[in-house]
Structure 1
Amino acid sequence: MDKDALISKLFLRLEKLERENIILRERLSKYETSKNSRNSSIAPSQDENRPKKNQSLRK
């Protein structure tokens, strides 16, 4: 096999592996939970989905 053929074959393999890597990362992200004050050491005031201070929690 000459150099050019080997290089092109390796580039094709690289592209295939990069596409596979993207797909697998997307699949993995479904199973990873985001950090919040209940499952990490983040302070409750730093939670992204916490209610604003000026909103009443009463209904």
Structure 2
Amino acid sequence: MNQITKDNIVQLETNSPKMTVIGVDTNGYAYCSWTNKRGDEMRGSFPTQSLKKFN
């Protein structure tokens, strides 16, 4: 299993915009940042097991 770490580029397993990991907490959540279609910066947290690294 690939560990999700800060600065990884990730996507949700169900597809999503490419997101940059800005931090990972000890409870298994990654804090991510991405830009929506209007160009607004968005942020959210997601369980690391729901994310896949984007190559």
Shorter chain as normaliser: what TM range?
under 0.3
Q: Comparing both chains, which one has the higher relative contact order based on Cα–Cα distances under 8 Å and sequence gaps of 6 or more?
A: 2
- In our comparison, the structure showing a higher alpha carbon Rg is 1
TM-score (norm. length: structure 1): 0.19
**Structure whose residues are more often helix by fraction:** 1
TM-score (norm. length: structure 2): 0.20
**Structure whose residues are more often strand by fraction:** 2
